[in-house]
Chains A and B, each alone.
Chain A
Amino acid sequence: MADDGAGNRPVQAKDQTALMVQGLTLRYNDVLALDGASAQFPIGSMTAIIGPNGAGKSTFLKSVLGLVAAEGTVLAFDGPVAQAMARIAYVPQRAAVDWSFPVRVIDVVLMGCYRKTGLLGRIDRRMTAHAMAALARVGMQDFARRQIGALSGGQQQRVFLARALAQGADLFLLDEPFAGVDAATEAAIISVLKSLRNDGATIVAVHHDLTTVAAYFDRVLLMNRRTVAEGPVAATFTRAALAQAYGPALMLDPTGKLGEEPSERPAA
């Protein structure tokens, strides 16, 4: 099971870096949210960012994108991240979105095409077909005309993944994509992410469920405001590293019976 994800990794792009983060530091008033966090994300890899609550995982993603102003160096595809924004898709936490907003599923996905349509550009049939194809990839094509608030949590998460797909990005940053979603959605999302990775895209996801890390991802970044450990799952996702990130109170054996126990998912 643990080798499943790593075995699919394409070899041709092994040494190139999609994202390089060096000394990311962010202070909210007197609280240090990020304390010199550093990491590298190779092209074609799929990384889980794990760590305890308040470890700054979501803040890390937002800081990488410049959505909050942190100190440090971030290079995306060997250049400033601001110049690579068109190649990066960001899927926010579900809780961060106003679900009562008057917008249909297809409109949300079309928002991912904005760089192609532009300010005054018309949304033509080709653009709509492109958005519909993205919806079909996450199994939501039959819901295109529904209001976003009428969907279940898992369906909403899939629509946001479809918006990221419509962007045509090479680097996907996802903030807890599996939080509060049903098992069918979790399977659909992971299958889309793995196929993206197999096509050479780079996936970075904040992840909570330690029991599925080895099955879903090929790399981990363990962090607690700073980087505790990073690297391939087999070498990095160890009891010692987890204890260092979460504190000694955490009693679990991630190298033991992975995939045999029912996975614990956060309640919806």
Chain B
Amino acid sequence: MIWQALMLQAGYNAALVSLGAALLGAAAGAAGAFLTLRRRALMSDAMAHATLPGIGLAFLAMVALGGDGRFLPGLMLGAALTAAAGLWAVQRLARQMHEDAATGAVLASFYGAGIVILTLIQGLGTGRPAGLETVLLGSTAGMLRADALVIGFGGLAVTCALWALRRPLAMVAFDPLHARMMGVSPRRMDAALMALVLAVVLVGLNVTGLILIVALLVTPAVTARMWSTTVIGTAMLSALIGAVCGYTGAAISAGVPDLPTGPVIVLLAAAVFALTLLIRGQRDG
């Protein structure tokens, strides 16, 4: 069954989901490469956790309006709004404390709020909340064709945008003062990168889930970094690792009943990282 899924023979929908997950993995790998080079890896974790209250509130809003509470674009919009609020909160708090402390405080607070809202929704018993918790760990089982297309095209769009911005992004990560001398605003580039990472988080909600998306952003990036001496090489290899892990993980998850997709993808990425450490670990010290 897993073999069939890997070979795209487990049905049209399963094949579409695997390809979508591959494109998501590529986008996450590429975005993660620039994110880690800019030393903002944990920012993506705060952003991902800050999506949860937005998902709950969007569900409630859509049910109140008489719609389907699990309509994916609606959930994504809510997630984007609170994730952006979380990002803003981190930036604001970072003026008074170190950024890592601000990130930790925002991550926990928003996630806590999200869990409370989700628990309330389960208690209401309206709007078919069953399955809403899959946004935590991801599940591609029973994914709609439209959802798979959103994921695939979203991943593709993010990857293309990163390719277009690769040079200013690399310049800002390496030497932000020089970037400013060249007329490139680090603040604007950081905002663009955060927007692209947010897009990855949103698109990945149904695949890896919000808790593990950070692993798909960071693990391929640090793995690729050990093999490549250039920014573009790191980003492309990271995208490739992310794509392979996304594809394989989605296929395995489709073949094994009740196996959540996110953990499988993340374990695959961790295995590639562990292998890299064994082979390359001693070289650079």
Q: Are B181 and A103 in contact (CB under 8 A)?
A: no
**A102 touching B171 in the complex, CB below 8 Å, given contacts A67-B180, A111-B178, A119-B164:** no
**Can you show 23 pairs from A to B with CB atoms below 8 A apart?**
A65-B180, A85-B183, A88-B181, A90-B177, A97-B175, A101-B37, A101-B173, A101-B231, A102-B37, A102-B225, A102-B228, A102-B230, A102-B234, A103-B174, A103-B229, A103-B230, A107-B230, A111-B171, A111-B182, A114-B167, A115-B182, A117-B167, A120-B164
Chain B 184-216 interface mask (CB, 8 Å, partner A; 1/0): 100000000000000000000000000000000
Beyond contacts A65-B180, A92-B175, A117-B167: 4 other A-B pairs, Cβ-Cβ < 8 A, are: A67-B177, A102-B233, A103-B229, A119-B165
Judged by a CB distance under 8 angstroms, whether A89 is at the interface is: yes
Interface residues of B in 11-37 (CB under 8 A from A): 37
Closest partner residue, chain A, to B163 (CB atom): A120
Closest partner residue, chain B, to A147 (CB atom): B229
Judged by a CB distance under 8 angstroms, whether A98 is at the interface is: yes
Judged by a CB distance under 8 angstroms, whether B170 is at the interface is: yes
- What 10 A-B pairs come out closest when comparing CB atoms? A114-B182, A147-B229, A101-B174, A102-B234, A90-B181, A111-B171, A102-B229, A67-B177, A102-B230, A103-B174
Chain B 153-178 interface mask (CB, 8 Å, partner A; 1/0): 00000000000110110110111011
Residues of A within 8 A of B171 (CB): 111, 114
Q: How far is it, in angstroms, between the C-alpha of A88 and the C-alpha of B180 when the chains are bound?
A: 12
Judged by a CB distance under 8 angstroms, whether A137 is at the interface is: no
Task: Give the interface of A toward B (CB within 8 A).
Answer: 62, 65, 67, 85-86, 88-90, 92, 96-98, 101-104, 107-108, 111-112, 114-115, 117, 119-120, 147, 163, 167
Interface of B is mostly: helix
Residues of A within 8 A of B173 (CB): 101
Q: Are A102 and B231 in contact (CB under 8 A)?
A: yes
Q: Are B167 and A115 in contact (CB under 8 A)?
A: no
Residues of B within 8 A of A147 (CB): 229
Q: How far is it, in angstroms, between the C-alpha of A86 and the C-alpha of B173 when the chains are bound?
A: 21
Q: How far is it, in angstroms, between the C-alpha of A118 and the C-alpha of B233 when the chains are bound?
A: 20
**A111 touching B230 in the complex, CB below 8 Å, given contacts A85-B183, A89-B181:** no
Residues of B within 8 A of A65 (CB): 180-181
Q: How far is it, in angstroms, between the C-alpha of A5 and the C-alpha of B181 when the chains are bound?
A: 29
Q: How far is it, in angstroms, between the C-alpha of A104 and the C-alpha of B233 when the chains are bound?
A: 11
Q: Are A98 and B174 in contact (CB under 8 A)?
A: yes
Q: How far is it, in angstroms, between the C-alpha of A65 and the C-alpha of B170 when the chains are bound?
A: 22
Interface centre among A96, A104, A107, A167 (most CB of B within 10 A): A107
Residues of B within 8 A of A117 (CB): 167
Q: Are B230 and A119 in contact (CB under 8 A)?
A: no
Residues of B within 8 A of A103 (CB): 170, 174, 229-231
**A92 touching B178 in the complex, CB below 8 Å, given contacts A104-B229, A115-B183:** yes
Q: How far is it, in angstroms, between the C-alpha of A62 and the C-alpha of B225 when the chains are bound?
A: 32
Interface centre among B168, B175, B178, B180 (most CB of A within 10 A): B178
Residues of A within 8 A of B175 (CB): 92, 97, 111
Closest partner residue, chain B, to A110 (CB atom): B167
Residues of A within 8 A of B184 (CB): 114
Q: How far is it, in angstroms, between the C-alpha of A163 and the C-alpha of B184 when the chains are bound?
A: 16
Chain B 219-234 interface mask (CB, 8 Å, partner A; 1/0): 0000001001111011
Q: What distance in Å separates the Cβ of B253 from its nearest Cβ neighbour in chain A?
A: 32
Residues of A within 8 A of B230 (CB): 102-104, 107
Q: Are B167 and A119 in contact (CB under 8 A)?
A: yes
Q: How far is it, in angstroms, between the C-alpha of A102 and the C-alpha of B28 when the chains are bound?
A: 19
Q: How far is it, in angstroms, between the C-alpha of A178 and the C-alpha of B178 when the chains are bound?
A: 19
Q: What distance in Å separates the Cβ of A191 from its nearest Cβ neighbour in chain B?
A: 24
Closest partner residue, chain B, to A97 (CB atom): B175
Q: Are A107 and B182 in contact (CB under 8 A)?
A: no
Q: What distance in Å separates the Cβ of A19 from its nearest Cβ neighbour in chain B?
A: 15
Residues of B within 8 A of A96 (CB): 177
